[in-house]
Copies of this chain bind each other. A is one copy, B any other.
Amino acid sequence: MKNNNAITPRNQDFAKWYTDVVRAAHLADYSSVKGCIVMEPNGYAIWEKMQSILDKEFKKLGHVNCQMPMLIPENLLKKESDLVEGFAPEVAWVTEGGKKELEEKLCIRPTSETLFCDYYATHIKSHRDLPKLYNQWCNVMRWEKETRPFLRGREFLWQEGHTIHETAAEAEKETDQMMGIYNWFHNEILAMPAIRGKKTEKEKFSGAVYTLTNEALMYNGVALQLGTSHYFGQKFSKAYGVTFTNKENKEDYPYQTSWGTTTRMIGGLIMVHSDDYGLVLPPRIAPKQVVIIPIGNDSNIIAKAEELEKKLIDQDICTYIDRTDKSPGFKFAEAEVNGIPIRIEIGSRDLNNNVIVFARRDTREKITVSLDTDLVSYTKELLETIQKDMYNRAKQRRDELTFEAHNLTEMENILNKQPGFIHAMWCGNQECEEKIKEIKGCKSRCILEDAEAIDDVCVCCGKEAKHHVVWGIQY
């Protein structure tokens, strides 16, 4: 197998390598609308699998899906001042409809807190109407200046959960619980060792009381926010006039949360796991887990391929035979660039020797396996091994790029050499956060609430430290 010449080596130009992988694996393409992508079938299939796994977990916990309109009237958006400040600069406005200028302009939703509050305001009257555990899968739009496929786009797909509760404790529990689901998903399914923490005041969601986040480190040491869960307290219910009669028969404002993950996770998968030969997918998220490539058309080869395909599909392993008339070498390369975790090659000579060949995508290792083996169990175990190995390699890479700083000079030295996660103590003062940002745009990723202190003083001002923070340069 030769390197696919169309892909720029990762160590040569990471940004170019990234877009080369997106293109070569047919995940997405640019469209005629600046900043909006076409999600091609290979990319969309990953999103479909993400949806199906997450949606099942959401529903197990009692959440239900709904669908709000994609447009928000200007006056509705403006009701919560923090939210409008955060989003107004980056919304797209519809001003004409049906050949007429609109009386009030409508923005395409950048997020849907306003719409959910508007709905809750008319549908919640009593504590008996609570909680509502709603979620929606939809597209949103933010008029970003710099865009990159999956990582930052004007339009992207996501899910946004919006729940509303009787008590603060219940809403805070929900905020935490959903971050737990995300953390499980990012670690166990996407094989990305994600750090869970709390955003600083400066970095939290516009309008939230606090924001929990999952942060992952990409192969090049740049950080990516993978999912967030916000606790709103009564801020939105007060701004939008959502009230209910509580158990003491008194009028009160309910407590809210919202939580979301996006197609950006696909970008994360690429930047954590992929290599110079194209996409590498963890088996649990790969839409196609096994490809069988018959070498030649002998009937015993095809029979063996079909027998194995059937057995694997019966065990819910997503398997297909590449039956196209391309050459085996071309098929190997295609399976490789598309990130199919296991490629099984079945050839005449091998069959005569009572063996077939398994090729792992992650290590590119070829393993000759006797036909006397229980091939289904072997495949299942190999998929799990690949999943575990990918997680461990990603964790090892993250650990190699994780540093500790005790003063600004140390922080600067680290960042000048190599971006990564930098653990450092912080006084809690926003001025220090601003000052640290001057070093190559380094931002607080999250506060580790339960972590031990690594110093007594703030990495920036030297005054008393309050928080153990992970810092990094972000996408």
Contact = CB atoms under 8 A, between A and B. Distances in A.
A225 to B, nearest CB: 21
B67 A38 contact: yes
Interface stretch (A12-20, A29-37, A200-208, A308-316): A29-37
A381 interface: no
A89 B99 contact: yes
A32 B118 contact: yes
B37 A66 contact: no
B119 A69 contact: no
B41 A71 contact: no
Stoichiometry (number of copies)? 2
Interface in A88-103: 88-99
A111 B122 CA distance: 32
Given A89-B98, A119-B29, A69 B36 contact: yes
A115 B70 contact: no
A130 interface: no
A91 B96 CA distance: 8
A68 interface: yes
A155 B143 CA distance: 21
Interface stretch (A134-142, A339-347, A360-368, A418-426): A134-142
Contacts of A95: 93-96
A72 interface: yes
Interface in A302-333: none
A290 interface: no
Contacts of A250: none
A439 to B, nearest CB: 28
A376 interface: no
Interface string A37-78: 111110111011000000000000000111111111100100
A106 interface: yes
B29 A41 contact: no
A108 B102 CA distance: 15
Contact of A98 (B69, B115, B143): B143
Interface string A145-158: 10000000011010
Contact of A157 (B31, B67, B145): B67
A38 B68 contact: yes
A144 B97 CA distance: 9
Contact of A155 (B29, B33, B43, B70): B70
A99 B93 CA distance: 9
Given A44-B66, A92-B94, A32 B99 contact: no
A154 B69 CA distance: 10
A412 to B, nearest CB: 33
10 contacts: A29-B123, A31-B119, A38-B69, A39-B66, A43-B66, A88-B99, A91-B97, A92-B96, A92-B97, A92-B98
Interface of A: 29, 31-33, 36-41, 43-45, 47-48, 64-73, 76, 88-99, 105-106, 108, 115, 118-119, 122-123, 134, 138-139, 141, 143-145, 154-155, 157
